[in-house]
Amino acid sequence: MFRFIVVCCAVAIIAANGANIPDAAPSQWEGRIVGGSTAFMGQFPYQVSLRSMQNSHFCGGFIINNRWLGSAAHCTAPRTVSNTRAVVGAIHRSTGGVTHNLARFINHPNYQAQTLANDVSLIQTINSIVFNNMAAPVALGSHFVGGGANAVATGFGQTGRNNPSSTGLMWVGLRTITNDECRQKFSSANAQRILDSIICTFTRVGQGTCMGDSGGPLVSNGNVIGIVSWGIPCASGSPDVYTRVSFYRTWMMSQMA
């Protein structure tokens, strides 16, 4: 997933979130971790794998509470709950974990598929998630995070643009950059998409997210601060772009109430 880790990112507190974490788009953008490391059992218990009925992973997500998951709208908008399953507690792409049937998707009402604006969604499970060392929630970030913050991205995506998907959960340590810095690294067309609702990471070439990581979490200091949304695949020198969770936290909380 990370080669060194669009569409679709951290230190978590094991006591609160069950994690022991190092401190540290549309089809052409979607991705997996590049330049990262293999996760061990229970290291990122908030990670979710969204899968088809044929058990094929297509996007990531994260556990918010025992009935709700977070992800990217570009992962859920094209699908229905009847053809999607969520697997929690898995560190392998196709085996292990607990599979949950889904009650509904709530995509942000202003989600725009062409630009990936407002790329955030909530997923409600039919049955409650049982928390343990392998499956546990992560807190929604409530404060604006600027540049220079250490974060961790996780996912089951590809380890490079032309590489196969990872068979196991991967993680990569990244650093956030300011939105101004992010705009400067993109063409004018893509720079216009870097709004206050976006957070970016860039550490170095060969480290970032790739296809299959979409919808997964960017975590810093025990809080999910970003949702993998889009980027220029994969870890090729452009920033990775995430939906900024603090910007949407009020909306997310209101929908789960």
Which of 14-23, 88-97, 164-173, 219-228 comes out lowest in average pLDDT?
14-23
For the entire predicted model, the pTM comes to: 0.87
Query: In the predicted model, what is the mean pLDDT of residues 158-181?
Result: 84
Query: In the predicted model, what is the mean pLDDT of residues 211-232?
Result: 95
Q: Quick one: pLDDT band at residue 15, thresholds 50, 70, 90? A: very low
26 has a pLDDT exceeding 60: no
pLDDT value at residue 164:
62
Average pLDDT, whole number, for the chain? Answer: 86
Percent of the chain residues past pLDDT 90, beyond the cut? 72
pLDDT value at residue 206:
72
Whether residue 90 contacts residue 49, with contact meaning beta carbons closer than 8 Å, is answered with yes
24 has a pLDDT exceeding 60: no
Active site residues: 74, 119, 214
Query: In the predicted model, what is the mean pLDDT of residues 78-82?
Result: 98
Distance CA 19, CA 47 (A): 10
234 has a pLDDT exceeding 50: yes
136 has a pLDDT exceeding 90: yes
Distance CA 85, CA 99 (A): 7
Distance CA 210, CA 30 (A): 6
Please, what CATH class does the domain formed by 2-256 belong to? Answer: mainly beta
Q: Quick one: pLDDT band at residue 168, thresholds 50, 70, 90? A: very high
Coil, helix or strand at residue 117: strand
Q: Quick one: pLDDT band at residue 211, thresholds 50, 70, 90? A: confident
CA 191 to chain centre: 21
pLDDT value at residue 212:
83
